[in-house]
């Protein structure tokens, strides 16, 4: 089979190799998927680059956690009826040297999720990491029916799904922050009720203007957002602390590439607010199952859009990694294998 691999961390063009590898066979409890599309996430390129000292646990690694394709073989304990099933894949490379940047990939049977009929392979390869991160960020602390949700980075891979899942989950008001008019249009397209350009507007003042509650003294109270989904906690923590509601939750999946964040402790304490860090790879099996179930249901309900920014052939995966890391694209970068 054709595959992409690397043996040491480094720049994509220097370490990623393209060539032939032996086709794998599924062991007990696993399936083999003929990959049609492979999705690239920031965690994939960070791991490949050795970001912040990340270690390479394998002598040779096929990258990428997300993908989509069709099951063509099953191991012991997996029903043969699954052969031919269209599936989207999550965390293929978690705990394995072999990700989806290859003609075939072996994954645990539960990581190959049946694809709804109205989902194509490129969209399926866009789900795993960002959609599951968004789901956990939005729903891990309970239902959001009639709640107000603020999504920082509303045009990002996670942010787009967070907006849509919040809408699907019954949120009353969904606000999103962005950094440009182009991104504002995307966040609006995804269903945000209000979009704030944080480079041009005071986010705290604007949110209070839109949804701020009135206290007994008639003044606007700052505790007006029940759930905040944050992509850059270091930059946003003071905004979040001012806006989060009493007993509200700040769910953050990225600090903004800084290892430490100074937290306004008492401002959060007086509201009994929760600060939840979110790492999709550390989610429980139950959380993964709930995310897969709800994501599929939202797709079947016609509630999820998928934005593909660029597509490349497998042989150009190094170029695709650089494109994904450029910060210039809005949407998912996908590798087409068929």
For 134-163, what is the mean pLDDT?
Answer: 97
**Per-residue pLDDT at 142 exceeds 70:** yes
Give the chain's mean pLDDT: 95
Within this chain, do residues 23 and 121 fall inside the same structural domain, yes or no? yes
Q: Domain check: are 135 and 22 in the same one?
A: no
In the prediction, which pLDDT does 49 show?
A: 93
Rounded-to-integer distance, Cα 250 and Cα 228, Å: 5
Residue 140 pLDDT:
95
Instruction: Decide if 288 is inside a domain.
Output: no
Residue 239 token pair: 């905004």
Query: Structurally, how many domains does the chain consist of?
Result: 2
pLDDT of 152 over the 60 cut = yes
Tokens of 186: 């995307």
How do residues 46-72 score in pLDDT, each as one tens digit? 999 998 878 888 999 999 999 999 999
Q: Can you tell me the distance from the alpha carbon of 282 to that of 236, in angstroms, rounded to the nearest whole number?
A: 23
pLDDT confidence of residue 307: 97
Same domain, 136 and 276: yes
Taking 90 as the threshold, does the pLDDT of residue 221 lie above it?
A: no
pLDDT of residue 216: 40
Residues 142-150 have a mean pLDDT of 96
**Domain range for residue 144?**
130-281
Query: How much is the pLDDT for 54?
Result: 80
pLDDT band at residue 217 using 50, 70 and 90 as cut-offs = very low
**Domain-embedded: residue 81:** yes
Distance from C-alpha of 276 to C-alpha of 133, rounded to nearest angstrom: 12
Q: Count Cβ neighbours within 10 Å for each residue of 22-46 and write b for 16 or more, e otherwise.
A: eebebeeebbbbbbbbbbbbbbbbe
Residue 239 within any structural domain of the chain: yes
State the average pLDDT over residues 111-125: 97
Q: How far apart are CA 157 and CA 130, in angstroms?
A: 6
What pLDDT score does 55 carry?
81
The answer as to whether 12 is a domain residue is yes
pLDDT (mean) for 91-95: 95
CATH number (domain holding residue 182)? 3.40.50.720
Residues 142 and 39 in one domain: no
Please report whether residue 291 resides in a domain: no
pLDDT of 222 > 80? The answer is no
Which domain-ending residue is among 248, 264, 281? 281
Q: Are 265 and 317 contained in the same domain?
A: no
Q: Are residues 216 and 324 in the same domain?
A: no
Mean local confidence (pLDDT), 98-105: 98
High-pLDDT (> 70) share of the chain, %: 97
Report the Cα–Cα distance between both ends of the chain, in Å, rounded: 13
Specify whether the CB–CB gap between 65 and 44 falls below 8 A: yes
The alpha helices in the chain, defined as continuous H runs, are: 12-15, 42-49, 121-124, 128-139, 157-168, 181-190, 203-211, 233-243, 265-269, 285-300, 317-325
Question: Could you tell me where the beta strands, DSSP code E, fall in the chain?
Answer: 2-5, 17-20, 30-40, 66-74, 86-89, 104-108, 112-114, 148-152, 173-178, 194-197, 213-214, 220-221, 225-230, 244-252, 274-277, 308-313, 332-336
């Amino acid at each position: 089979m054709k595959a992409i691999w690397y043996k040491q961390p480094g720049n994509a063009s220097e370490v990623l190799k393209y060539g032939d590898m032996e086709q794998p066979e599924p062991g007990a409890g696993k399936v083999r998927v003929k990959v049609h599309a492979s999705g690239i996430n920031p965690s994939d390129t960070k791991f490949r680059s050795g970001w912040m000292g990340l270690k390479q646990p394998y002598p040779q690694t096929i990258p990428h956690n997300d993908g989509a394709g069709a099951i063509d073989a099953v191991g012991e304990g997996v029903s043969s009826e699954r052969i031919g099933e269209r599936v989207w894949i999550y965390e293929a490379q978690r705990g394995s040297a072999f990700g989806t940047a290859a003609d075939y990939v072996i994954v645990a049977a539960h990581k190959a999720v049946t694809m709804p009929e109205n989902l194509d392979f490129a969209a399926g390869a866009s789900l795993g990491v960002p959609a599951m991160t968004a789901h956990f960020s939005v729903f891990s602390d309970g239902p959001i029916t009639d709640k107000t949700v603020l999504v920082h980075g509303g045009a990002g891979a996670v942010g787009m799904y967070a907006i849509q899942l919040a809408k699907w989950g019954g949120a009353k008001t969904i606000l999103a922050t962005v950094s440009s008019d182009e991104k504002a249009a995307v966040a609006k397209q995804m269903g945000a009720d209000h979009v704030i350009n944080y480079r041009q507007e005071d986010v705290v003042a604007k949110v209070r203007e839109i949804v701020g509650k009135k206290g007994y003294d008639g003044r606007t109270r700052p505790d007006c957002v029940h759930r905040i989904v944050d992509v850059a906690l270091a930059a946003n923590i003071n905004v979040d602390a001012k806006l989060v509601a009493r007993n509200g939750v700040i769910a953050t999946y990225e600090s903004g590439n800084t290892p430490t964040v100074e937290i306004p402790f008492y401002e959060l304490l007086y509201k009994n607010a929760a600060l939840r860090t979110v790492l999709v790879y550390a989610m429980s099996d139950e959380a993964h199952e709930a995310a897969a179930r709800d994501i599929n249901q939202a797709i079947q309900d016609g509630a999820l859009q998928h934005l593909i920014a660029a597509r490349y052939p497998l042989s150009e995966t190094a170029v695709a990694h650089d494109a994904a890391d450029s910060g210039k694209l809005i949407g998912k970068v996908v590798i087409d294998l068929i």
